[in-house]
Every structure is written in structure tokens, then in C-alpha cells.
Structure 1
Amino acid sequence: MTKLRLAIVGAGPAGIYAADILLKAERSFDVSIDLFDHLPAPYGLVRYGVAPDHPRIKGIITALRDVLDRGDIRIFGNVRFGADPAEGLTLDDLKRHYNAVIFATGAVHDAELRIPGIDAAGSYGAADFVSWYDGHPDYPREWPLDAESVAVIGNGNVALDVARVLAKHADDLLPTEIPANVYEGLKASPVTDVHVFGRRGPTSVKFTPLELRELGELRDVDMILADEDFDYDEHAQASVAGNKQIMVIDRVLQSWRKRETGQASRRLHLHFYAKPVEVVTDASGRVSALKYERTRPDGQGGVVGTGELREVPVQALYRAVGYFGSPLPGVPFDEKHGVIPNHEGQVVNPDNNEQVYGVYATGWIKRGPVGLIGHTKSDAMETVEHIINDLGNWWAPESPSEASIVELLESRGIRYTTLDGWHALDAHEIALGEPEGRARIKVVDRDEMVRVSRRES
């Protein structure tokens, strides 16, 4: 019987779901799957992109762990995909050892926001901040938290995560898996006001009711909203009446408008109909204010500018306007949209739209950084179906044995980690948290992660 040796680059939800779906799919051939990730631990953005105080969302890890723990998928962590064989694997390496590859590398960098002053000192990408507070091993251990007033640009879930972590008292994060250096940084933060800006109105936000509710549960934080933002036009009224999610969001926001304010030590301001136009800087080039244009509804769900400009003094700013994918050596890439060009997961050459045989994509690197876990599963199903049907166009590897890839990694001196190693690291982090009554304390240093995973002294 024909056997498919499949490599999947990216061990987050997209890659794990693709492996699981293929193994369960009806097919006429055997399957052997190897998952590769540049991080020593699996789960991608579920581990390094979800705020530490989101245990319900992190419950997704339980489902992903169940898939990996079946034992029919091998995982190799701390292996980079790139142009340098000394750091990991190249596309040529994969062609020598596998019949096909799925790239599930996600999107981890911030999309651009092109307004004057956006590159000023004190202006940051939300993705970098998220990676810091989630203990990503490839980011600095320190983060400058010296601002009393902070702006967050965006009306999606990431914007709310960033705003919540900034406004929340650090002690309230202690029951979570927050790394020690992050706790100390947030504990010393002098922040009193966090301002969230969105260019549309309250009925056009992109965050979910769950995220919004959690924002209003912060201890000793007042929610500040402006009455002028809630003079709904007919389109907004129809949205509230006709969409359950918008109805719930509106109900939450309206309840906050009725709260008494003025007693809390911190305030979280939601600014709607606020289109950022410039980051104002001081004489030293640091962020000093956000200038925005007041917008108004256009009657069709959009907004138009009013020409009225306002400024809010801030000393730091975070842009949370979306994620953007990164190019991979030797793989086609769409620079405009930040994705691998593809047709339903089959990678195509952007010059002639012809299929690049043996190369596939799934998840955010396939469709862009939108959608939730359900979209990731349907993405994977679509891609897997094409892999099955493309049997006649698979690569013909020179050395397809399962042992050969292990020999290659070891010959290059790559300190790869395995599923057994992840179990060791997982147990170690849980043990670190136990004396303090915490779920775990996440290991941040990459070398330490590798040493624990490989059970090295």
C-alpha cells in the first residue's frame, strides 16, 4: 500500500488539526506525520497568543493534547524552517524525506498602521506585547511599563486583551500561569488610564461578548464611555435588534453606562467613532498624545469623517489592528495580504497561478488572521482533501524512512524536543506553580525549556 510521509510545519491548532483530520480521513494509503515547530513547546498561539487570564480559551489545549497523546503523530520542537540547514530544515530537506508538506505557521507579527508618528518611542505593536506577557522565549524579558496613560488602537479581541492586561492589577493575575518577570513588570506599572480607540461605533466592534464581559469584571477599574457614542442611527438599531451577538454586546455596554464611577484607582475608556490620524510626540520624540478624527455613521454600517480633530494625552501606544504573516524561504508569499498564495490550501505560484506540487497551507498563513477555532478546522479539512486527491503529484523522496529525519537533525547538532519532552516541561511548569497555589509558572528561557524537555542536567 502507498504511504504518505507528511511534514507539517507549525504545531499550533492549525497544524495539529490538519494532522488529526488526515489520520481520521477515508483514504487508500497509510500515513506517517511529523510535526515541526521552531518553539520547544507545542500549541502555538494558544500558548503564546492568549492572555494568561483566559483559562477557558486555553482549555483548547486539552483537546490538542488529546490528539498528540494518541501517539500516532511525532513532534519535533526547537526546529526552525528556513534557509540555514544549521538551524533546522529547508524545503529541499523536506523534499528528500517527505511526500508533501503543510505550512501551518500562522501570523505572529503586527499589521501596519500607517499614520504619522506611529514609529515614535513608546509606540508598540500589540503582538510583541502579547508575546512578552505570554512568556515567548524569543522576546526580551523586560517591557517598558512607565506610562500613566496608554492608548490601544483597535476594536478586536487582541485590543481588549492588551487593554485588560494593562488595566488589571497584577496581583489579580497571580492565579494564572503569568511568568514571574511579567508579574513584576505589571506590578510596578504606574498606569491609571487605558484608552481604547475604534473608528466605528459600538454596534460594529469585532470583539466577542465573552471578551467584553471579562473587561467589565476588572477589580478597582472604572469603565468610562461617552454618551455621544450611543446615539444610534437606524442601521445600528437594526443591528442590535437583528443580531444576537450585537444585542449582547450592546446590553453589556449599556449596563456600564449606568455604573457609578470615580472611586476606582484605574480607568478604562472606550472611545468609539475615533479614527486615529497621528501619534503626537514630544521634544524627545516620545509619544505624548493620540490625535484622532471624530467619525459619524454613514447610514449603511460604515463611517465617514467629520473633520473634527481631538487629542488624548498618552505616554504609550499599542496598535492592535491585526496580525500579519511572515514569508518562508523557498515558499511563495503574498506580500500584500501576508499569506501563502493558494487555492483551497494548494499552494500556487503567484506569477502564473499554477499549483506548486507537494506544498500546502492551512490556518492563518492560508487565509489571513481572521476567524476562530472552527474556521481552523474547516481550513484543515479543505487542505487535507486536496492532499488526498493529489496522490499522483506528491514528491518522490529519496529517503522517506522515519529514522532518516532523526538522523539528519542529530547530524546537524539540533537539540530538538519531542512529545515526551513536552510532557516533561509541562510537569515541570506545573510543579513550579504548586508551592504558590498557581496552575503553573511558565518557563520563559529557551535554553531552559530545551534542557528540561531533553532532561539534561
Structure 2
Amino acid sequence: MLRVAVVGSGPSGVYAAQTLVQQREVPGVRVDVLDRLPCPYGLVRYGVAPDHEKIKSLQGSLRTVLEDERIRFLGNVEVGGERLTTARLLELYHAVVYCVGAARDRLLGIPGEELAGVHSATAFVSWYSAHPDATAEDFGLAGVRSAVVIGAGNVAVDVTRILARGVAELRPTDMPEPALGALAGSGIREVAMVARRGPSQGRFTTKELRELGTLPGVDTQVRAAELALDPAYADPAAAAALPAVNRRNVEVLRDWTTHGREAGARRITLRFFLRPVEVLGDADGRVTGVRFERTAPDGRGGVTGTGVHEDIEAQLVLRSVGYQGVPLPGLPFDAARGTVPHAGGRVLRDGRASVGEYVAGWIKRGPTGVIGTNRPCAKETASSLLQDAAALARRALPADPLDALRAAGLSPVPWPGWLAIETAESALGRSLGRRSVKIPDWPTLLAAAATATGDEPAW
């Protein structure tokens, strides 16, 4: 039997586990899927906006994989700390696949970024998604009239939409009660989503973009003069040469310039060709706005500054300019790329493949692609591991690694513990007159998991 640990239970980890147990070339593979959190599904649970039910429904297919008898979920297991080093983990398994994502957001690197009221979109998403590591704050929404979201990807679109949505549309979701209450009391009336390049270079998908134009009671605006700065917007031939998603985005934005909507209680404005150069603040150290420099296409796919500046008022600024991988103690790390060096998913140490160590997902390729991109990425890594299986399986292992994890002072949450958390969240929702509502803190999650009956079978 080949015993494999997959670290991370998001899509890349689940797809890696699925590939390993469903293939036929190497029989008898057993996989433990370990996660630092007591809950599975990674960014599908903690990164997908609560009002995107269709995407969140992917949890159902991930669940089916994790319920396979050849796969065992063990939450509340942190790898890389004193209790469980990467070296010790490799002693317990023939192979380890690290699918730990890219947990850190990128900074803007401009003056004033440290002011109160400036946050990463990552932190905001974690808060309204009930991530147990999220800070217990309300982002000062009651005192916010105008917000600026810096970025042009789907995360920027998500946080813009959540800020502008009415609470009546969020109440049916699983958003935690504190976040729902803070958004209900929000004073926000204006949200500006600002990109340093043009509409043809936006990284959002068309479905998410269109959704901004259909929010009840929200007026969505663009400025035709800014769109016209983009050569692919002004020139039909250039627009036709764009990738399909970018071409559709341009068409949606073009339509917004000609079809007015009734003014709503809140307004979203999409701004283009503006680069943030300074966050402005008051004497109390709170943000009051962002200073942008007008940019222009440089003819090489990038932009250049024009020296013309514009200030946009804001009492809340969310930066959404990408993610970065973070080092995991015990694994090599390429700081420039934010990834673990690898060849076909095999971890490289000093340029040579490290026996039994593999990577998949964002920590392998960087924060690119959509959820489905993780499937071929994970299959490539699993293929490399299976090619090495005969040599890996020769090594004798200790008894069931679950016993070793507990002996090290860890308290793994097995699948029945996660099911108990689900039951507790359903009960919480009923008590609030809502559907299932996420539990947002560690103590309550672990207390719910502890009510589980049954355990995972020993191997």
C-alpha cells in the first residue's frame, strides 16, 4: 500500500487525492488529506463570495471525493510547526503533496498604505467568509460613505459587489452574522473600482462583470472617455483580436456607456487608466482618499504615467492586486516567484528532485487561473508521484500516522467532526431565522467538532 499525505483540502488538494486513488496503474493507494483548518474545501469555502451559490456548490463534488473510503480527511493539523515538521511528515508517509496555496496579498508599496481604513481585499473576504483567522472587526463600515477598491480581477469585483449589495440579498446566504450586521449598518453610497490599465486588460470574467450591472438599487457607471483611451476599445479590429473573455468585457462596458439605469441608493463606478500613488489621510491617521496618476497605453501592452493626478474620496480602501505564496518551514522557496521550486510537481532541493515531496496548485504555479485550472495541475503532479511509486513504496513506515499525530500533541478533526460542524452551522442558521450560517471562530468550530460521534477508520 502506498500511503500519501496531501497538505491542503482546497480544489488542488482534493483533485490530487482523487487522481491518486482513482487511477489503476498503482493499486492500493491511500491518502490522508490534512488541513490546518477544521473545515475542508479551502478557498471554495473561504474565498468564494457567499452570494455566488453556483460556484459554492462545487463543495458538493469535492465532498464526494473526500468521502471516498480510500481518502481520509484530517483537519486541525498544522504542518511546518514544532509539532509536525515537514521532515517528520515525510517519515509518516511514502509521499507528501503540498497544496497550500498563496496566502499573502500583495502590497501597493505607496505612501499612506498603513493608514487606518486601508485593508487587503483578502482580509475583507476572509471576514465576510467567516475564516477563523479573520480579525474580529467590522471594517468601520458604519462611518464609511465612499470606498475605493484597487484592482481589476474577480476578487476586486466580488468585494465591490458585496459592498454595494443590499442586506436583503445577503441574508439568504451563509455569511456570518457579525459581517451581515456590519454590512446592514453600512453607510456606503459610493464604490469606485479602479484599474491602472484599460478595460481590455481587465482580469475579471464577463459573468462577474455583468453582475455588477444587475444589482437591485445600484447604479453602475463607466466613463466613456476613459474607455476610449484603450486602443482595443476604440478600434474594432483590435477588439476583434482580443481573447474571447476580454472582448466580451469590452462589449459589456461599451453597452454601459449607452444604456442608462435609474439612479439607485448606491453607485458603483468603474475607473480605468489610474495608478495609485498615495493614500491620503487626516490628522487622526485615518484614510480620506487615494491620489491616482492618470496613465496611458505605452504601445507595448503596459501603461506609462502622464503626470496628471486625481484624488478620489474614500473612508475605506481595499487593495486587490494579487496574491503571493509564503514559505512553509522545511520546504525550499523561490521568493521572487512566490512558489516552491519544482519539476513536473516534484519538489527541487538544490536543483535535484527531493524524494517523496511534491507540490500542486498555487504554491506550484503561482496564483493564476480559475478553480478548474487546478485539475490538470494536480493531475500532472499525481502523474509524477505515480511514476515514482515503486521506489517510494519500498520504504517501511510506522503504524497509522493518525496515532503519531495525536502523540505529537495534535488534535485532528476527522470527517465526522466536520459533519458535526455542518450540523452546528445549520442549527445556528435556524436560530437566526436564516439558512445555514458559518461559524466564524476557532473555539466554536472545535467545540462543534468535538460533539461528533465516530472516528475515521485506522489504516
Q: What displacement does 1:206 show?
A: 0.3
Letter of the aligned partner of 1:97 in structure 2? Answer: L
Mapped pair 1:161 → 2:158: yes
Give 1:427's aligned residue: 423
Q: What displacement does 1:82 show?
A: 1.9
Distance (Å, rounded) in 1 between the aligned partners of 2:90 and 2:50: 38
Is contact 1:173–1:183 with CA below 8 Å preserved after alignment?
yes
Task: Select 2:405's aligned residue among 377, 402, 409.
Answer: 409
What's the CA shift string for 1:176-216, capped at 9, x where partnerless?
11111111111111111111110111111000011111211
TM-score (norm 1): 0.93
Give 1:442's aligned residue: 438
What's the CA shift string for 1:46-85, capped at 9, x where partnerless?
0001110010111211110111122220010011112311
Mapped pair 1:309 → 2:313: no
Give 2:94's aligned residue: 99
Give 1:128's aligned residue: 123
Structure 1 residues 239 and 379, CA gap change in structure 2 (3 angstroms):
farther
How do 1:43-442 residues align onto structure 2 when only pairs under 5 Å count?
Answer: 43-85=41-83, 89-144=84-139, 145=141, 146-231=143-228, 234-236=231-233, 237=235, 238-242=237-241, 243-260=243-260, 263-349=263-349, 352-391=350-389, 393-394=391-392, 399-401=397-399, 403=400, 405-434=401-430, 438-442=434-438
How do 1:32-43 residues align onto structure 2 when only pairs under 5 Å count?
Answer: 32-43=30-41
Is contact 1:358–1:395 with CA below 8 Å preserved after alignment?
no
What's the CA shift string for 1:303-345, capped at 9, x where partnerless?
2222211111212211100111121111111122221111121
Is contact 2:416–2:452 with CA below 8 Å preserved after alignment?
no
Structure 1 residues 219 and 233, CA gap change in structure 2 (3 angstroms):
closer
Is contact 2:144–2:188 with CA below 8 Å preserved after alignment?
yes
The 10-residue stretch of structure 1 (167-176 or 244-253) with the greater mean CA deviation from structure 2:
244-253
- The SS at the match of 1:101 is strand
Q: What displacement does 1:392 show?
A: 5.4
Is contact 1:415–1:450 with CA below 8 Å preserved after alignment?
no
Distance (Å, rounded) in 1 between the aligned partners of 2:223 and 2:162: 22
Distance (Å, rounded) in 2 between the aligned partners of 1:172 and 1:398: 55
What's the CA shift string for 1:341-383, capped at 9, x where partnerless?
111211112xx31222211100011111110122201111111
Aligned residues: 448
- The SS at the match of 1:93 is helix
- The SS at the match of 2:17 is helix
Q: CA RMSD in A?
A: 2.0
Is contact 1:203–1:239 with CA below 8 Å preserved after alignment?
no
- The SS at the match of 2:413 is coil
What's the CA shift string for 1:78-101, capped at 9, x where partnerless?
11112311xxx2223212211110
Q: What displacement does 1:284 show?
A: 2.2
Is contact 1:235–1:300 with CA below 8 Å preserved after alignment?
no
Is contact 1:200–1:302 with CA below 8 Å preserved after alignment?
yes
Distance (Å, rounded) in 1 between the aligned partners of 2:106 and 2:395: 37
TM-score (norm 2): 0.92
